Structure 1
């Protein structure tokens, strides 16, 4: 019988900001707005800890740049679609076993006072989208 399974290690990048033109309304596409994204990457960091080599872990600077590009390119109607796109790019690195992507849309077109609209999707490597 094997021992207990260790919980995954986690890298989080919070508050990646970008200007996007996502939304279902014409003014959202024309005017655009700021989106803020948090990503959580689950992986085993022990190989990197042992080698002290960036090549043995996920480069969070590169991930942040990819997320930023995803925010600012190819407008979509729904933040659900944007979140899925970002989750797929996070899982493209085979070392990432699961991800959580949170999209903040603080300027969403809502007619009452509010602080933020937030969507979080959670995906595991090997799951169908």
Structure 2
């Protein structure tokens, strides 16, 4: 699989288990790696034949700024599942960084990462995403 890497999508969100996190907000940073086949896009040279990374960035920002969640693990999974549902990709890796997490000792970053792939129940004659007919 080929990859599109989108690093450092940043927005203020209100995720966290503490009241002050939900009240005051803080920056969240998301990295996404989209796994897909570039063959059709390379042939057509048309953005419609790939995952439009501008649209991907907007969806990630919407999740960061959207409904507050307690855990960044939950945020990472929701972003990954949404991107799989909305774009013609075979798999996605999402990392959510919470650089201002309320941790009492000095630290550089805290992040969680998830990998999600398109699930296929059984082999069939239907081409998988990215496969050429």
Normalising by the residue count of structure 2, what TM-score does the alignment of the two structures yield?
0.87
Secondary structure of the residue that 2:7 maps to in structure 1?
strand
Measured on the aligned residues, the alpha-carbon RMSD in Å equals 1.0
2:117 to 121, 124, 129: 124
**Distance of 1:12 and 1:20 partners within structure 2:** 22
**Distance of 1:64 and 1:43 partners within structure 2:** 17
Please report how far the alpha carbon of residue 126 of structure 1 lies from its aligned counterpart in structure 2 after TM superposition. 1.5
2:38 to 42, 45, 48: 45
Is the alpha carbon distance of 1:40 and 1:78 closer, same or farther for their aligned partners in structure 2, counting shifts above 3 Å?
same
Unmatched tracts of structure 1, length 5 or more: 1-7
**Distance of 2:60 and 2:24 partners within structure 1:** 21
Please report how far the alpha carbon of residue 92 of structure 1 lies from its aligned counterpart in structure 2 after TM superposition. 1.2
* 1:76-112 Cα deviation digits (max 9, x unpaired): 0000110011001110145211100000000000000
Q: Does 1:66 align with 2:66?
A: no
**Distance of 1:67 and 1:93 partners within structure 2:** 12
Please report how far the alpha carbon of residue 73 of structure 1 lies from its aligned counterpart in structure 2 after TM superposition. 0.6
1:107 to 92, 100, 105: 100
**Distance of 2:89 and 2:66 partners within structure 1:** 24
Secondary structure of the residue that 1:92 maps to in structure 2?
helix
Please report how far the alpha carbon of residue 9 of structure 1 lies from its aligned counterpart in structure 2 after TM superposition. 0.1
**Distance of 2:105 and 2:86 partners within structure 1:** 41
**Distance of 2:60 and 2:87 partners within structure 1:** 17
Partner residue, 1:32? 25
Please report how far the alpha carbon of residue 70 of structure 1 lies from its aligned counterpart in structure 2 after TM superposition. 0.4
Q: Does 1:98 align with 2:91?
A: yes
**Distance of 1:105 and 1:30 partners within structure 2:** 16
**Distance of 2:73 and 2:87 partners within structure 1:** 23
